[in-house]
Amino acid sequence: MGFKYLKDAVTLKLDTDKCIGCGMCEIVCPHSVFLIKNNIAVLTDRDKCMECGACSMNCPVSAITVRKGVGCAYAVLMGMFKEDGCGGGPSCGGSGCC
Amino acid sequence: MDILGAWKTRWGIGRMTYTINPGLYSVGCPDQYSPVLVTSNYKLTVDKVRKNLSGRNLWVLVLDTKGINVWCAAGKGTFGTEELIARIDQEGLKEKVVHRELILPQLGATGVSAHEIKKRSGFKVEYGPVRAENIPYFLDNGKRLNPSMREVSFPLFDRLVLTPVEIVIAMDLMLRVFGVMAILSALGILPVERADYLGLIGAVITGTFLSPLLLPWIPGRAFSFKGMLTGLIWAVSYILFLYSKGYTGSLQLFSYLLILPSLSAFFSMNFTGSSTYTSLSGVEKEIKTALPIILAALVAGILTRIISLF
ipTM (interface pTM)? 0.86
**Is A63 in the same domain as A83?**
no
Q: How many CA atoms lie within 13 A of A40 on its CB side?
A: 9
Number of domains in chain A: 2
Nearest to A76 among B12, B130, B283 (CB): B283
CB B266 within 8 A of CB B224: yes
User: What's residue B47's pLDDT?
Assistant: 92
Quick one: average pLDDT of A62-90? 78
- The mean pLDDT value of chain A amounts to 85
Report if residue A27 sits inside a domain.
yes
Identify from B279, B284, B286, B294 which residue to disrupt to test chain A contact, counting A C-beta atoms within 10 A and taking the largest count: B279
Contacts of A79 in chain B (CB under 8 A): none
**Is A28 in the same domain as A46?**
yes
Report if residue A4 sits inside a domain.
no
Between B237 and A89, the higher pLDDT residue: B237
Percent of chain A with pLDDT over 70: 81
Report if residue A1 sits inside a domain.
no
Report the residue of chain B nearest A52, measured CA to CA. B110
Chain B contact present for A29, CB below 8 A = yes
Contacts of B286 in chain A (CB under 8 A): 6, 73
Instruction: Domain B3-150: give its CATH code.
Output: 3.40.50.11600
Q: What is the pLDDT along chain B (310 residues), one digit of tens a residue?
A: 577 777 767 766 666 668 999 999 999 999 999 999 999 999 999 999 999 999 999 999 999 999 999 999 999 899 999 999 999 999 999 999 999 999 999 999 999 999 999 999 999 999 999 999 999 999 999 999 999 999 998 999 999 999 999 999 999 999 999 999 999 999 989 999 999 999 999 999 999 999 999 999 999 999 999 999 999 999 999 999 999 999 889 999 999 999 999 999 999 999 999 999 999 999 999 999 999 999 999 999 999 999 998 8
Chain B nearest-CA distance from A83, in A, is 15
Chain B contact present for A46, CB below 8 A = no
Contacts of A53 in chain B (CB under 8 A): 75, 110
**Is A21 in the same domain as A61?**
yes
Write the CB contacts of B10 (distance below 8 Å, at least 6 apart in sequence): B161, B164, B165
What values do phi and psi take at A13, rounded to 5?
A: -135, 135
**Is A81 in the same domain as A37?**
no
Report if residue A6 sits inside a domain.
no
Q: Do A27 and B147 lie within an 8 Å CB cutoff?
A: no
Report if residue A81 sits inside a domain.
yes
Chain B contact present for A45, CB below 8 A = no
User: What's residue A1's pLDDT?
Assistant: 47
Residue range of the domain that includes A45: 13-67
Chain B nearest-CA distance from A40, in A, is 18
User: What's residue A83's pLDDT?
Assistant: 57
**Is A17 in the same domain as A54?**
yes
**Is A80 in the same domain as A43?**
no
Domain ranges in chain B are 3-150, 156-308
**Is A63 in the same domain as A75?**
no
Report the residue of chain A nearest B104, measured CA to CA. A28
**Is A60 in the same domain as A48?**
yes
Cβ neighbours around A89 below 10 Å, total: 14
Contacts of A91 in chain B (CB under 8 A): 76
User: What's residue A98's pLDDT?
Assistant: 43
Distance CA B198, CA B298 (A): 17
Report if residue A31 sits inside a domain.
yes
Is the pLDDT at A85 greater than 50, yes or no?
Answer: no
**Is A57 in the same domain as A78?**
no
CB B145 within 8 A of CB B47: no
User: What's residue B15's pLDDT?
Assistant: 64
